[in-house]
Amino acid sequence: MLEEVKSHSSKWIKTKAASYQNFYWQDGYGAFSVNPREVNKVIDYISNQHEHHDKKKTFQDEHRDFLERYQVEYDERYVWD
């Protein structure tokens, strides 16, 4: 399923502007579920995403923090491209 989403969305974004012609997705992906009782927290987080990015935290640091906060075991050799 994710292969289809990534493939079709990549082809679509390339039609939107010449500056996107070299767009590509990373090889991997992460999938997370959300407790239905906490959906509003996720909505708030996404709505205020610019604040998180203004803090200059790298994606890798943010991802590590998320995994550690929710006690998800991982091996860095297999997380990044």
Q: What pLDDT digit, counting tens, does each position of 7-28 carry?
A: 999 999 999 999 999 998 887 7
Whether the pLDDT of residue 54 is over 70: the answer is no
Statement to judge: residues 22 and 36 lie in one domain: no
Statement to judge: residues 40 and 77 lie in one domain: yes
pLDDT at 33: 87
pLDDT at 2: 85
Pick 52 or 21 by higher pLDDT: 21
Statement to judge: residues 22 and 37 lie in one domain: no
Work out how many domains the chain is built from and give that number. 2
Statement to judge: residues 16 and 38 lie in one domain: no
Q: Quick one: pLDDT band at residue 53, thresholds 50, 70, 90?
A: low
State the residue range of the domain holding 77. 32-81
Q: Name all contacts of 61-70 with Cβ < 8 Å and 24+ positions apart.
A: 63/30, 66/32
Statement to judge: residues 36 and 15 lie in one domain: no
Q: Taking Cα atoms as reference points, which of 42, 44, 80, 46 lies closest to residue 63?
A: 80
